[in-house]
Structures are given as structure tokens and as C-alpha cells.
Amino acid sequence: MRREAIGLALSVLLFALCTSAEAQPQGRTAPRIGFLSTAALSSLSPRLDAFQQGLRELGYVEGKNIVIEYRSAEGNTNRLPELATELVRLKLECIVTAGENPTRAAKQATSTIPIIMTTVGDPVGLGFAASLARPGGNITGLSTYSADLAGKRVELLKETIPKLSRVAIFSDPRSLSLEPKATEAAARLLKLQFITLDVQSLNELENAFRPSANSRADAFITMSSGFFNTNRTRLVELAAKHRLPGMYLEQEFVHAGGLMTYATSIPDLYRRAATFVDKILKDAKPGDLPIEQPTKFELVINLKAAKQIGLTIPPNVLARADRVIK
């Protein structure tokens, strides 16, 4: 009986050890990772929730067996180098970055700590990776390839507003995104007039909606920007106030009251970023991990927003929507 009891106790102990090993990398306790963003963390709630969900699915629970050091520039890109350096001093296992500018700041701060991108349009073109298949260096993660979608977004806006002749492009000049140039090229291809407005402050955002600034544009398209994300609510309020149709690059804007978007699910990319964290914590080299691209894009239309600005969405566009908010 005593021998059986000892055997049972050993079995229980081994099971507990195996379960613990699945929950966190062997030989490490509570690994620490960093998160760097331009946008205010409060504006990224759905994305961070998805990231934490992805971690939980892999056995990591924040505050228990993993620690996340969050740093946000609160919409001020100039603060990113300082915040990136601060994270590097903490000697983290890896740093997760939200977009082009945070990725550049992290890249400049370290060449040894693995960096996991979540939403970068063209990592190869921006010099973050040698190739998508074999990034090399210390950067890997997920690409949105938003610039490639620019033509489709302008085309959808034209179909939604058949009389569209002039488009205002709201762009943050501090952003490294290639989307403004791609959007301008798409507008030229469709023989649309356009004006690109630099917007990097609340005052400039207010002015961008004035007819004197956008020369009475028929619609606008926002580019990706931590500043726009931080001030998402104000942006869609101004669009409604001035009754100006808007195309957004991210679904959160439409859920906040914006008109429409054609894009990948950003929260899904954040959830998938957790798999990169898991691989890095298990000693994979970032340069050997292929950069993943989005596989699904969705057209989301907010009918309530359309009604608010007096716009009727054509049936052929509405029929193609993946989701309709009423």
C-alpha cells in the first residue's frame, strides 16, 4: 500500500510539472515582454483584448505566468524613441509593436531583442525585413499590406458615391505608411481629383473638415495613424457634423460611427501575434519566422452613419458587404 501511495504521489507531481511546462517555456518563470504603440492604449482595447486572448489560448495569463510592459506615445510619435529605449533597458524577451513608427523606433533601439510587428503595411519596403519568407535580423510578425488595398478602397468609395469627383486624403505626415502615395495613385487611375491634407493635431483635424481646407471634397479617406486611432471618436463626430462620407482603414472606426471600411480584421492580427510571442519564448529566432499576411478582408458598412449624413448606399455595394451595422 505504501509503495502504491508513493507511486500515486509521484504521478500527481509529474502531471503538475507537465501542466506547468505547457503553460510557460521551460526554465523560465514569468517572462517579460514589451508592447509599444503610438496610439493611446484605451483606443486599442479590442486589439489588446484579442492579443491577450491569443496568449491565453497558448497557456499564458498576464499577471500570472507572463508580464507585459506597455508603453504608449499617446498619439505623439516623437515620444516613441524614448519609450523604445526604456523598454530595451528592461531586457525583455521580445517587444510587440503596433504599426510602422513603433517598429522603426524599436529597430533603432535594439538589434538583439526580438521585435514582433502587428500592423505594418510593407515591412520589406520599409527595411524591416529582407523578405517575407526569411526576414533575417530581429524583426518578424504580421503585415497588413494595406497599401495594396488602396485601389479597392477608392473604387468602393466611387461605387458608393457615383457622382464622386474629388477626394480628401487625411494623412499623418509623421507616419511611415506607404498608403498615402498608393491612395493618390488609385485616385489618379480612376480620374478623381484629390487633395492630401496633413493632419497631426486636433486643430488640424477640425480644419481638415472645413470646405476651405478640402476644397469641397465629396468624401474623404483616412490613412493609418496612431493619432487618428487616439482621436477616433472625434474624427467620426466631425464627419457626421459636416455630413462628409468617409472610408477608413480599420473596422474600429466604423464601429465607432464611421461610414465604411474595407480591411482585414486588426484584432485578428493581434491575436495571431501571440503565436509569435510563444515561438520566441520557446527560443525561435525572429529572422527565421516568416512574416504572415492577412488572408481575409471585409467590407463593413454602417447604415446608421449613412442615414445620418443623408447618403443612400447603392444596393450593389450593400450586397457585397460582409457586415452591415444598422
Can you give the pLDDT at residue 296?
79
Are residue 303 and residue 170 in the same domain, yes or no? yes
Are residue 57 and residue 122 in the same domain, yes or no? yes
Distance CA 273, CA 179 (A): 22
**Residues in Cβ contact with 19 at an 8 Å cutoff, skipping those fewer than 6 apart:** none
Q: Give domain status of residue 14, yes or no.
A: no
Are residue 179 and residue 319 in the same domain, yes or no? yes
Distance CA 122, CA 125 (A): 5
Q: Give domain status of residue 45, yes or no.
A: yes
Structurally, the chain folds into a number of domains equal to 2
Residue type, 132: L
**The pTM is what?**
0.80
Are residue 48 and residue 135 in the same domain, yes or no? yes
Are residue 185 and residue 132 in the same domain, yes or no? no
How many residues make up the chain in this entry? 326
Tens-digit pLDDT profile for residues 176-229: 888 899 999 999 999 999 999 999 999 999 999 998 888 889 999 999 888 999
Q: Of 5-9, 30-34, 264-268, which has the strongest mean pLDDT?
A: 30-34
Q: Give domain status of residue 19, yes or no.
A: no
Q: Give domain status of residue 13, yes or no.
A: no
Are residue 305 and residue 204 in the same domain, yes or no? yes
Say how many C-beta atoms besides its own lie within 10 A of residue 203's C-beta: 9
Are residue 118 and residue 183 in the same domain, yes or no? no
Q: Give domain status of residue 293, yes or no.
A: no
pLDDT of 292 > 80? The answer is yes
Cell of 153: 478602397
pLDDT of 73 > 90? The answer is yes
**Residues in Cβ contact with 282 at an 8 Å cutoff, skipping those fewer than 6 apart:** 25
Tens-digit pLDDT profile for residues 225-279: 889 999 999 999 999 999 999 999 989 999 999 999 999 888 999 999 999 999 9
Can you give the pLDDT at residue 5?
44
Distance CA 258, CA 110 (A): 38
Are residue 203 and residue 99 in the same domain, yes or no? no
Tens-digit pLDDT profile for residues 115-155: 999 989 889 989 999 999 999 999 999 998 755 689 999 99
Query: Which residues span the domain enclosing 200?
Result: 147-263+298-325
Determine the angle formed by the axes of helices 80-89 and 100-109, rounding to 10 degrees. 50
Find the CATH number of the domain harbouring 77: 3.40.50.2300
Distance CA 188, CA 190 (A): 5
Are residue 70 and residue 164 in the same domain, yes or no? no
